[in-house]
Amino acid sequence: MEQMDRNIRFVIGGWSVFILMALLVIGVRGRDHVANMLVFVVIAVAMATWVARRRSRAAVVTSLILGGLHTLQQIAYLLAGVASDDVDAAEIAVDAVGLASGVLLVVGAARAVTGSRRQRVDATR
C-alpha cells in the first residue's frame, strides 16, 4: 500500500507542477494567456482533488491519459522553441517545467495502475 501512496503522491505532484507551469506561462507570455491557463488550472485542481480523495482507478487512468497528452504537447513546444530562430530562454524554461509535470503524471499514474493491477492479482492467489 505504501508504494501505491507514493505513486498517488507523484500524480498529485504532477498536477501541482502543472499549476505552477500555468502560472509561469502567465508570467512569461503575458495576460493574453490568463483565460486559457485558468481553464487548465481548474482542470488540474479538479484532477488533483479527484486523485487525492478517491484514489480510484478511473482517476489515475484519466491522469495517465491527460498526462500523456500534456507530455507530448510539452515535447512539441520544447522542440519548436529550440528549433526557432528567436530562442527565448524563459519560454523554454516554462516548457521544461511543463514537461516535468507531464513526466510526474505519467510515471506516477502508470505505476499506480500497474501496482493496483498487481495487488488484485496477488489478492486472487
Domain boundaries, the chain: 2-124
Instruction: State the alpha helices, DSSP H only, in 30-88.
Output: 34-54, 57-83
- For 13-70, the pLDDT digits (tens) are 999 999 999 999 999 999 999 999 999 999 999 999 999 999 999 999 999 999 999 9
Write down the pLDDT at residue 121. Answer: 42
Please give the full DSSP string across 85-114, using - where no structure is assigned. SS--HHHHHHHHHHHHHHHHHHHHHHHHHH
- For 69-115, the pLDDT digits (tens) are 999 999 999 999 999 888 899 999 999 999 999 999 999 999 999 98
In this predicted model, which residue has the larger pLDDT, 5 or 49?
Answer: 49
- CA distance linking residue 26 with residue 41, whole number of Å: 12
Write down the pLDDT at residue 117. Answer: 60
